[in-house]
């Protein structure tokens, strides 16, 4: 039997599933990174570690036309050790007017960004106490994200975005990812009307309780009864238009409340219509929306991208991918919050993957394949980089919010875990993760997630996570095959690694066999060693072998060798640009003669065949992954091409 040779060259440059998806992801990443800028070197304050927050009542006075805030913050806390003082985080330019405890004035000092309050007597370990801080000021990060006052269509707006350590810019708090406040009440007092005599509408976390009119002022009360870290507490106020959608939720319906600019109403209504189907999908795959007793919502704000404040995501636009990403965070990021910046993939990798799952379920497998190919293009654009951050990495905003690593590689690691475990076990593991009592409505670190997945699956996943999560780089494959008998195909797998931190990426390798009559057979080969050989039974004559046709594996620069006796195929045949949108150029050695060019899709179906030409017009090709096969005097050479 003649040994045939096919070169399958993987594509790895940044392209888009639609271009909209990558643009949306970049905007999301940039918004989150921008909010962290200039504050990343701050950390949870060690001086706030001696108490456990139980409750906040935020009574806030704001005017959307003025960059200023006045507030009374009542905090309930339990002493974790004997305490004589309590410290809150509050930016130095804010003015504290007084601190009261049961009607008594307490002494305090405001040093740097610490508000240090002297308690009237020693508070014993385990004792619950409370106090109220009255303060005011123009938040120091106005115009940079934490507290912004600006305009839309000429109308004033104020909104906040506190990730990671910006909450202290506008209220006295405890900025700690792992000490969630058990519950909050937010009372927002604004002028009743804006300068155009349109009513101001306030937004915050949780369920709106009341709107009380007092002359020319209005106070809106929101109640949130789930644990929440300071950075996910948010407020906004402008002349919003408000509309709702209902989630059936298996007979226990709740509302999606949308707060949008009046000038954006029709666009927002069209865009947010998909929220209920996405919510239903996530409910079915994972669990009921974690805050179903209250609401979900969107509030339009002044940045591109979005921010997943608990129960109300602040949105710069209303595209489906942004809606899916921010909604996904309500489970992965809000119900369970990453325990440190090193674990940021538990927030961002998960939200990115869930937005991919939306493409899979709403658009179909071909679209999902293109989405995965696109993630791989981003991941393999550089040879190094781990998903899990080092201590040094956490000092860099760009590294924490790396689209290539924290978002895209984190997402594809989850997809590869799914392929390794199977859908039933994978989704059960995520459900177990969300419902483990130590982490539900609290925080988790990467080792916690791994332990839960191992317990659910019964597998030791040390090798998998060491290779794909903790260490760096990706593999490249050479697949050699032949058909020694009519009912057998032999396949050998050879691998190289892009980074020395991984000696070998053990992985299930997907292979698709295409027969001369269009037959098709999918294989998943458990590849654990280099140059490992497999002999598989097949009942047709194999014409083509495709490596990872649905892009389930992080890899790059892959070759599939098929078909020749004594001749070695010259791989120096190049196609460019790749990806392409119009003209594809072909360069070949002078000695290589091409008699025919054939175009195949990932199913192995022949799309077109034509004589040799050094250029191909791809404008009529469908978007996605295609295979260009060259019939040459040296054998068959096949190149993969991604059409935009």
**175-208 pLDDT tens trace:** 887 889 999 999 999 999 999 999 999 999 999 9
pLDDT at 258: 98
Provide the whole-model pTM: 0.86
pLDDT at 642: 78
pLDDT at 571: 54
- Give the H or E element holding residue 446: helix 446-457
Across 310-325, average pLDDT: 97
pLDDT at 576: 85
Across 383-389, average pLDDT: 97
CB 233 within 8 A of CB 174: no
Closest CA to 640 of 558, 530, 517: 558
Tell me the three state secondary structure of residue 413. helix
Residues 449-497 pLDDT 10s: 999 999 999 999 999 999 999 999 999 999 999 988 889 999 999 999 9
Tell me the three state secondary structure of residue 303. coil
Q: Are strands 583-587 and 615-617 parallel, antiparallel or unpaired?
A: antiparallel
Whether the predicted pLDDT of 36 surpasses 80: no
Whether the predicted pLDDT of 357 surpasses 70: yes
Question: Which residues in 20-169 belong to E strands, given as ranges?
Answer: 51-62, 69-79, 83-89, 95-101, 104-105, 108-111, 114-123, 128-137, 147-152, 155-160
Closest CA to 39 of 296, 230, 201, 271: 230
The residue with greater pLDDT, 395 or 604, is 395
Residues 138-168 pLDDT 10s: 996 544 468 999 999 999 999 999 887 889 9
Whether the predicted pLDDT of 599 surpasses 60: yes
CA dihedral 319, 320, 326, 329 (to 10 degrees): -170
pLDDT band at 44 (very low <50, low <70, confident <90, very high): low
Across 504-533, average pLDDT: 95
Question: Which residues in 138-234 belong to E strands, given as ranges?
Answer: 147-152, 155-160, 183-191, 201-204, 207-214, 217-224
- Distance CA(268)–CA(359), nearest Å, equals 20
pLDDT band at 564 (very low <50, low <70, confident <90, very high): very low
Question: Which residues in 14-68 belong to E strands, given as ranges?
Answer: 51-62
pLDDT band at 20 (very low <50, low <70, confident <90, very high): low
Q: Give the 3-state secondary structure of 423-466.
A: HHHHHHHHHHHHHCCCCCCEEECHHHHHHHHHHHHCCCCHHHHH
pLDDT band at 15 (very low <50, low <70, confident <90, very high): very low
pLDDT at 261: 98
- Distance CA(266)–CA(268), nearest Å, equals 5
Least confident of 71-80, 413-422, 480-489: 480-489
Q: Please name each of the domains of the chain with its CATH number.
A: 46-328 (2.60.40.1730), 574-643 (2.60.40.10)
pLDDT at 5: 35
Across 224-248, average pLDDT: 97
- Distance CA(58)–CA(74), nearest Å, equals 7
- Distance CA(501)–CA(412), nearest Å, equals 19
Is the previous residue joined to 520 through a cis bond, with omega within 30 degrees of 0? Answer: no
pLDDT at 35: 61
Residues 87-103 pLDDT 10s: 999 999 999 999 999 99
Across 62-90, average pLDDT: 97
Whether the predicted pLDDT of 40 surpasses 60: no
Least confident of 45-49, 71-75, 419-423: 45-49
Directed axis angle between helix 365-379 and helix 345-363, to 10°?
150
- Distance CA(301)–CA(64), nearest Å, equals 13
pLDDT at 3: 32
- Distance CA(87)–CA(115), nearest Å, equals 5
CB 554 within 8 A of CB 409: yes
Residues 272-310 pLDDT 10s: 999 999 999 999 999 999 999 999 999 999 988 899 999
Residue 577 CB neighbours (<10 A): 13
Across 240-263, average pLDDT: 97
The residue with greater pLDDT, 142 or 622, is 622
- Distance CA(301)–CA(288), nearest Å, equals 27
- Distance CA(205)–CA(257), nearest Å, equals 11
pLDDT at 11: 31
The residue with greater pLDDT, 456 or 623, is 456
Rounded to the nearest integer, the mean pLDDT of the chain is 90
Give me Rg for the CA atoms of the chain: 28
């Amino acid at each position: 039997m003649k040994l045939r040779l096919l070169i399958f060259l993987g594509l790895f440059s940044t392209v888009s599933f639609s271009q909209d998806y990558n643009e949306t992801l970049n905007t999301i990443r940039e918004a989150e990174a921008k909010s962290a800028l200039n504050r990343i070197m701050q950390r949870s304050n060690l001086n706030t570690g001696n108490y456990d927050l139980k409750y906040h009542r935020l009574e806030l006075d704001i005017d959307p036309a003025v960059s200023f805030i006045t507030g009374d913050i009542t905090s309930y806390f339990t002493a974790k050790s004997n305490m004589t003082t309590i410290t809150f985080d509050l930016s130095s330019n804010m003015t504290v007017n007084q601190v009261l405890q049961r009607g008594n004035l307490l002494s305090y000092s405001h040093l740097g960004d610490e508000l240090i309050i002297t308690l009237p007597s020693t508070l014993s370990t385990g004792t619950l106490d409370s106090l109220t801080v009255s303060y005011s000021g123009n938040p120091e990060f106005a115009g940079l994200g934490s507290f912004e006052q600006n305009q839309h269509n000429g109308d004033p707006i104020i909104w906040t975005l506190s990730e990671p350590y910006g909450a202290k810019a506008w209220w006295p708090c405890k900025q700690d990812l792992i000490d969630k406040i058990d519950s909050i009440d937010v009372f927002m007092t604004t002028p009743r009307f804006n300068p155009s005599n349109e009513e101001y509408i306030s937004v915050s976390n949780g369920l709106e309780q009341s709107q009380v009119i007092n002359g020319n002022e209005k106070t809106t009360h929101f109640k949130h009864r789930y644990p929440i870290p300071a950075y996910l507490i948010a407020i906004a106020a402008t002349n919003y238009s408000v509309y709702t959608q209902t989630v059936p939720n298996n007979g226990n319906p709740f509302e999606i409340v949308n707060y949008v600019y009046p000038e954006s109403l029709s666009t927002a209504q069209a865009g947010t219509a998909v929220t209920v189907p996405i919510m239903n999908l996530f409910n079915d795959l994972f669990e009921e929306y974690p805050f179903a007793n209250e609401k979900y919502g969107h509030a339009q704000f002044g940045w591109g991208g979005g921010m997943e404040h608990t129960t109300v995501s602040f949105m710069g636009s209303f595209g489906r991918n942004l809606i899916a990403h921010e909604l996904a965070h309500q489970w992965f990021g809000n119900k369970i919050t990453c325990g440190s910046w090193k674990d940021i993939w538990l927030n961002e990798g998960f939200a990115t993957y869930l937005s991919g799952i939306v493409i899979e379920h709403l658009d179909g497998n071909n679209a999902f394949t293109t989405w995965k190919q696109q993630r791989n293009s981003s991941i393999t654009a550089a040879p190094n980089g781990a998903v899990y951050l080092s201590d040094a990495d956490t000092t860099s905003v760009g590294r924490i919010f790396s689209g290539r690593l924290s978002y895209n590689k984190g997402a594809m690691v989850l997809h590869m875990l799914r392929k390794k475990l199977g859908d039933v076990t994978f989704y059960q593991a995520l459900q177990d993760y969300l419902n483990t009592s130590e982490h539900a409505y609290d925080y988790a670190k990467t080792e916690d997630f791994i332990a839960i997945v191992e317990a659910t699956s019964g597998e030791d996943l040390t090798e998998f996570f060491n290779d794909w999560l903790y260490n760096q780089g990706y593999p490249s494959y050479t697949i050699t095959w032949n058909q020694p008998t009519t009912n057998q195909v032999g396949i050998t797998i050879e691998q190289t690694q892009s980074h020395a931190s991984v000696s070998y990426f053990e992985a299930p390798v997907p292979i698709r066999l295409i027969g001369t009559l269009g037959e098709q057979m999918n294989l998943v080969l458990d590849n654990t060693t280099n140059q490992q050989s497999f002999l598989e039974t097949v009942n047709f004559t194999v014409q083509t072998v495709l490596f990872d046709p649905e892009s389930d594996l992080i890899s790059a620069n892959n070759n599939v060798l098929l078909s020749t006796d004594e001749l070695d195929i010259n791989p120096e045949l190049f196609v460019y640009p790749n990806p392409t949108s119009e003209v594809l150029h072909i360069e070949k050695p002078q000695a290589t003669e091409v008699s025919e060019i054939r175009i195949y899709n990932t199913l192995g179906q022949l799309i077109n065949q034509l004589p040799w030409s050094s250029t191909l017009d791809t404008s009529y090709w469908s978007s996605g992954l295609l295979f260009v096969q060259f019939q040459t005097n040296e054998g068959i050479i096949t190149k993969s091409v991604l059409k935009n």
